[in-house]
Structure 1
Amino acid sequence: MEAIKETNFSFAGQTGFYRGKVRDVYYFKDRLAVLATDRISAFDVVLPKAIPYKGQVLNQIASINLKATADIVPNWVLSTPDPNVTIGYRCEPYKVEMVIRGYLAGHAWREYKAGKRSVCGVTLPEGLRENDRLPEPIITPTTKADEGHDEDISREEIIAKGIVSEQEYIKLEAYTRALFARGTELAAQRGLILVDTKYEFGSYNGEVYLIDEIHTPDSSRYFYLEGYEERQQNGESQKQLSKEFVRQWLIENGFQGKEGQTVPDMTDEVVHSISDRYIELYEVFTGQPFHKESYENVLSRMENHIVENIFNEKN
């Protein structure tokens, strides 16, 4: 096996299963086991080929960042017993993703370039260029769709529709800004700029918890700090570490997830280049060499680690 495309376990005590774009989630009463597979998605579409070591990179970077932010907001994690597995509390997710942007890039830039000066109810000034730093970080939430595309939504719409109460939403905003500030500090220590990212939150025992992954190349965009200003002044593309290069490759080959479009052929060269970029981000972000876990008996390894840990009362 060269990559983990999916899992199909059946555990004693399991109460449910959910397959997301990237993760397979196994439910157990008030706990869950989340398996980071090697699937990759873009424009809310799961691409046909899995990317070797991608799941391991995501799970390990998320683990580092969740530990590094636990003093800001409690999070769902109980243990990480396997390079691709995290076990934690089963929280009730809020149906919004809290996207925060410090720079005009990606989706926000594409909207701005198309002439829009308001993103999710936030007004942007005239005269900005792609990848410019914003006057201050802006929060541009999206709906959290179980299927299909997430949609931009404003703070006012979220509260008016009762998706999240005003009191809870104010708390989510405060956590989002504090997490982004911490993520910015951590990135700067490694010579990176945290451009934008998303956070997801849930409720557990009446308290707000940070859930899912944070500050990974799937959920975040990073630029290299060195040379940023010079490249920006010269109108050059920024050197970045994120999934944006995958989106750009798809766009250049006529795919943006729209009806009637076909995903371009993912050659072995493309797959390996994506894998290399994920590993590069891990090594730059952590300052440590990436250890490639063997794919031999990987499914049995993950299954055993879940069985051994899911009801471990020491968690």
Structure 2
Amino acid sequence: METLFEFQEDSLQISEDVVQVAADNTENGYEIFRILFEHRGSNLHLPRDVVKTLAQRTGWGEYRMLQLISKYQTQSLLVNEEVLMMAAENESNGGEIMKLLFQDSKEDLPVTESVLMAAVANTRCGDECIETFFRYQGDGLQISEMVLIAAAANLSYTGRRCLELFFQSRGQSLQVSVDVVIVAASNRLAGHRVMEVLFQYQGQNLPVSEDVVRTATGNHGEDGYKIVKLLIQQRGQNLPVSEGVVKAAAGNPGKFGYKIMRLLSRYQGENLPMSEDIVKAAAKNTGEHGHEIMKTVLKHQRQSLSYKQF
């Protein structure tokens, strides 16, 4: 490319198609972009979708291309909701790209519910995107129930961090529905940390229903056990432990299902609901520790008979 400019500097035609092809070049795109801007500067015509193309790419070169566009172009980058979505979903450079887009913009960018949901679902840099949103738009952000649900479902630490940012900004005015708590209870890898944040900021106002507890006892991951333990610590005797809750634990085929059943049995004692359906659920359990669950169920039945006889 340098050679072409050397011999045809003024006559060389650089169309938008050429720029788009360079943007699509994942190996040498940055160097080509650098040469194009050095020779054409702000006169280089950019295709409409070039920013969107670069925002969704995961390579560091694509981020550097966006930096070049920001440096040489006299007008702000063309950033619409679709571009923000691409950046928010980018799990490699999304945080840095989002900062660049907002730094370059001379007007408010469209941070919609869909953009927020994409950001909080990002398992690597979603929290960086949310920090940028708050820095530039603050009180203008609309944090809906669906955004909170998406954050609670995030399987990495970033979901928890996003929730912390929301609570730090909005405090008690942030409404947490039972559906948000149910999703947190179902999170196999990060639900425990998410639930800790919810209790930290909502305390006794956090809605913990029977559905929440049943979802937690049926959670197949290690976090299922941790969540049930946390629920017991936070709510004690007020925790709704129904037949359905115990049945979910009895049928839990996860590695920690038997620990959940033991925890319920120890916590509830003779008050632990027990029925034929629960025994059947344990008998059907195909998990590695299904037999341990059956042992706990049968042991509890024997103890219950002893209590009644006494």
TM-score (norm 2): 0.19
Bigger strand share = 1
Which structure: larger Rg?
2
TM-score (norm 1): 0.19
